[in-house]
Amino acid sequence: MTESELIDLARSGMLVMVKVAAPPLLAGLAIGLLVSLFQALTQIQEMTLTFVPKVLTVLLVLLIFLPFMLHTLFDFTHLVIDRAIAGG
């Protein structure tokens, strides 16, 4: 395996990491922003008010996007194994 192939594989790995991590992180960010806005408007400063909606939203997003995430990881694993076999 050449240097350029390894760099391409590393770039693909980082892209897969972003694809897999983006849905729950973006959902948590959006809910956190909404809850913070709600707290600022109502002046309610309860710690559980920020924690519980984020956890529930991230779990829901994980359940919804889990097939996509697994498929993406499965395809990347096949790519890595195929390149390892072809290079070796």
Length of the chain counted residue by residue: 88
Which pLDDT band, with edges at 50, 70 and 90, does 49 fall under? confident
Domain housing 27: 3-87
pTM of the complete model: 0.82
Instruction: Report CA Rg, the chain.
Output: 19
Domain count, the chain: 1
pLDDT score recorded for residue 18: 97
Q: What is the pLDDT of residue 47?
A: 79
Task: List, for residues 60-74, the tens digit of each pLDDT value.
Answer: 999 999 999 999 999
Helices (H) and strands (E) in the chain, counts: 2, 0
Amino acid at 32: G
d(CA 40, CA 35): 9
Contact 73, 16 (CB under 8 A): yes
